[in-house]
Structure 1
Amino acid sequence: MNLSYWELKSWLSNVDFTIVGSGIVGLTCALQLRARYPESNILLLEKGILPQGASTKNAGFACFGSLSELIDDLQHHTEEQVLHLVRQRIEGLRVLRSALGDRAIDYQQLGGYELFLNKDEQLLETCMHQLDAINSLLHPIYSEPVFEWKERSFGFQNINQKFSFNKFEGQIDTGKMMYNLMNSVLKQNIKVLNATTVEQLVDAGNKVHVKTNHFDFFSSKVFIATNGFASQLLKEDVKPARAQVLITKPIKDLEIKGTFHLDRGFYYFRNIDNRILIGGGRNLDVDGETTTDFALSDPIQDRLEQLLKTTVLPGISFDIAHRWTGIMGVGSSKNPVVKQVGNNIYCGVRLGGMGVAIGSSIGKRLAQLY
């Protein structure tokens, strides 16, 4: 790119902090850095025209883990670690709501449900057996039971009539959240450059040489907040995980309210603007979905439609309005990676599919590393 003197002077000179990625983590990090260093020159680089990854692609679940997910987490983490994960998610939601306000993100606490397909009888029995133990685990956070059993069908079919309910969970409008986060950043005199891919970072002395697909420049500090794309810049235990989603056209008299999980959280759906948004299915092809390619997969899309027809909207006519994918960042542990990775480089990645919940707290922690 042939840059002018004015462009170099105004955008790419004397940069104090460069943030790579304009998702929830990156935008929150930028706002926190501005609060801590009011006179600093902050530049945010985003590879997409709109934020890529998962921040603008997610289902808008303001949740901290379904019953079966927390039980599964205990198979791979200690009780202390699981409790810490839940605390992080709840704190992240608090930071997000405090920063923008519930109206700005259309936060609604309608509760979260976990449904059990007829074939998942063993999973249901496990959850029934472990519910009291999970409530006891979460007692230091909430003074009353988090999970309880409900019997309400919503007209669903091919599921057990008994399902778990968590009244503390909510939902947001993802688009409003990201729009208002970006507005907050721009109002704080933070520069944002879109369609700019960071290709290499060279940590040299007291500054970082930032090489992009358009230009090179120097920054005193760099903060990596690219989550699912982190492996392109970091050697950390984080890999991409593609999530596929579809949404229907408006459905008359749609009475489904709240957020819903199915099949150990591998599927999820909700009502948004009298439409059903449903996503998931990564478990059908874990290797194939370990990718940064935004393409759709026909088998997974077919499974999502099948669930709509046989379970969520049986006997109800619907049309698909739109389909999309998002790229999450996962690893061998669900603990996020928030640390210094060089003399002048820091990262906040591996959100494990909980970006809405923990993104704000990770962005805050990332800014506090310096």
Structure 2
Amino acid sequence: MNLSYWEIKNWFTNVDYTIVGSGIVGLHAALRLRERFPESKILILEKGMLPQGASTKNAGFACFGSISEITEDLKSHSEEEVIQLIQKRWNGLQLLRKRLGDATIDFQPYGGYELFLKEDESAYHESLQKLLFINEIIKPIFKTDVFLKEIDRFNFSGIHEYLIFNPFEAQIDTGNMMQALLKEAVSNNILILNQQTVTAFEENSNGVEVALGDFSFTTKKLLFTTNGFANQLIAQEVKPARAQVLITEPIPNLDIKGTFHIDRGYYYFRNVGNRILLGGGRNLDFQGETTTELGETSLIQNRLDELLKEVILPDIDFKIEHRWSGIMGLGSSKNPIVSQLSDHVYCGVRLGGMGVAIGSLIGNELADLI
């Protein structure tokens, strides 16, 4: 970097807090630090032109887990852990709504639905069987039953008779949310530098020396909020997981409104106005999708096209307008990692594919560790 005296003075001198990653967690952590330390100098470093992981690339689901996903989680987590996770996701969504406002993020409480493909007999019957039990254990959070059986009224094809409806689920506009968070950060005198890759860091008694290629500067505290990319610089039990997505061109008279889940959350779709956004399919190739490379594969895109044509929009003409992917951070546990790694280094990572729901809360928790 060929930096001037002015650039070094204003951006890289007397830095109190440096946050790596300008996604949902990083921005909430920065805003919380600003609340706690009004006079501090806060710098965010982002390796992408825009937040690189999933914050600007997700499907915009304000959700906390479909019934088959919760059923699956109960096999690998304790009942208490699952309840705590749902509580955190719910609290995180309320925090996000409170900070930005429903109008700003285009919060639409249409409710969420889970549909079960005809061939998925076991998940369908298991979910119906578990419905009363799951409603019972999460009732203290929502004060009423969350999951309800409903007959399909959307004319989907190749699915079981009942959908499972969740009135507490909603959708948001991901672009509006992130733009609003970035604007709020800038208006709170938080410095954001894009296309800056942290290549190394070294702790000393006064703080941390952070290297950006051949240039380095000192910060008092360093916070990693890089989620799926966490393992590139800090050794944490987080694996990247790519999510592939597509969106159709506008469809006249589209009668589908809401957020929809298929196959334990591995597929998900929603309306965006009168378009359908559909994503998922990494269960077709777990190994191949454990990557930090953005891109699409024909295996998964073909399956998404097939679901659209045969299940979601049978007998309706549509065209795909755009395809993309994002990188999530997963692990053997769905519990996020919010941790102080050493005297001056912290991390908030492993959001388990629930960044919209839990990201704001994890950002706050991370800032409150300091």
Same fold, judged at TM 0.5 (above): yes
Report matched runs for 1:31-180 at 5 Å. 31-180=31-180
AA of the residue aligned to 1:188:
N
Summarize deviations over 1:303-328 as a string: whole Å, max 9, x none: 00000000001111111110000000
Out of 99-108 and 148-157, give the one that drifted further: 148-157
Residue in 2 aligned with 1:19?
Answer: 19
> Does 1:251 find its partner at 2:251?
yes
Q: State the AA in 2 paired with 1:287.
A: Q
Identity %: 58
Preserved contact between residue 20 and residue 26 of structure 1 (Cα < 8 Å): yes
Which amino acid letter does the alignment assign opposite residue 295 of structure 1?
A: G
Q: Which residue of 2 aligns with 1:185?
A: 185
Q: Deviations over 1:233-254 (max 9, x none)?
A: 1111101000000000000000
Retained in 2: the 8 A contact 1:246–1:324?
A: yes
Give yes or no for contact 1:17–1:42 (8 Å, CA) kept in 2: yes
Q: Distance in 1 between matches of 2:237 and 2:203?
A: 21
CA distance in 1, matches of 2:201, 2:153: 53
User: Quick one: distance in 2 between partners of 1:186 and 1:218?
Assistant: 22
Contact persistence 1:222–1:346 (CA under 8 A)? yes
**8 A contact 1:45–1:193 mirrored in 2:** yes
Could you tell me whether the CA contact under 8 Å between 1:153 and 1:161 is conserved in 2? Answer: no
Tell me whether 1:201 sits opposite 2:231 in the alignment: no
The question of whether the paired residues in 2 share the 8 Å contact of 1:196 and 1:214 is answered with no
Displacement of 1:206 in angstroms is 2.1
Structure 2 counterpart of 1:230: 230
Between 210-219 and 293-302, the greater mean CA deviation after superposition: 210-219
Rounded to whole Å, the distance in 2 between the matches of 1:108 and 1:153 is 19
CA distance in 2, matches of 1:323, 1:124: 30
Work out the CA distance in 2 between the residues paired with 1:101 and 1:215. Answer: 39
SS at match of 1:291: coil
Q: Report the secondary structure of 2:58's partner residue.
A: coil
Corresponding residue of 2:260: 260
Q: Which secondary structure does the structure 1 equivalent of 2:288 belong to?
A: coil
Report deviation, 1:214: 5.9
The AA in structure 2 aligned to 1:165 is F
Report the residue type matching 2:199 in the other structure: E
CA drift at 1:191: 0.4
Match in the other structure for 1:5: 5
Q: Which residue of 2 aligns with 1:210?
A: 210
Question: Structure 1: how far apart are the matches of 2:214 and 2:260?
Answer: 43
The alignment partner of 2:278 has SS state of strand
Does the aligned pair in 2 maintain the 1:240–1:328 contact within 8 Å? yes
Q: C-alpha distance in 2, partners of 1:234/1:287?
A: 22
> Corresponding residue for 2:294?
294
Partner of 2:273: 273
Residue-by-residue CA offset, 1:313-353 (whole Å, 9 max, x unaligned): 11111111100000000001000000100110000000000
TM-score (norm 1): 0.99
How far apart are residue 153 of structure 1 and its match? 3.3
Deviation at 1:215, TM superposition (A): 2.4
Structure 1 residue ranges without an equivalent (≥5): none
Cα displacement string for residues 41-81 of structure 1 (whole angstroms, at most 9, x for unaligned residues): 00000000011100000000000000000011000011100
Letter paired with 2:237: D
Partner of 2:354: 354
Output one character per residue of 1:180-214: Cα deviation in whole Å (capped at 9) or x when no partner: 00000000011000000111111111210101136
What is the CA–CA distance in structure 1 between the aligned matches of 2:74 and 2:261, rounded to whole Å?
19
Equivalent position of 2:241 in the other structure: 241
CA distance in 2, matches of 1:217, 1:189: 19
Aligned pair count?
A: 370
RMSD: 0.7
Deviations 1:16-63 (A, max 9, x none): 000000000000000000000000000000000011100000000000
SS state at 1:74 partner: helix
Using the TM superposition, give the Cα deviation of residue 139 of structure 1 relative to its aligned residue in structure 2, in angstroms.
1.3
1:132 counterpart SS class: helix
In structure 2, the partner of 1:309 is 309
Residue of structure 1 equivalent to 2:344: 344
Tell me if structure 2 keeps the 8 A contact 1:245–1:324. Answer: yes
Contact 1:24 1:356 in 2 (8 A): yes
What's the secondary structure of 1:119's corresponding residue? Answer: coil
- Look up the SS of the partner of 1:347 in the other structure: strand
- Runs (4+) of structure 1 exceeding 2 A deviation are none
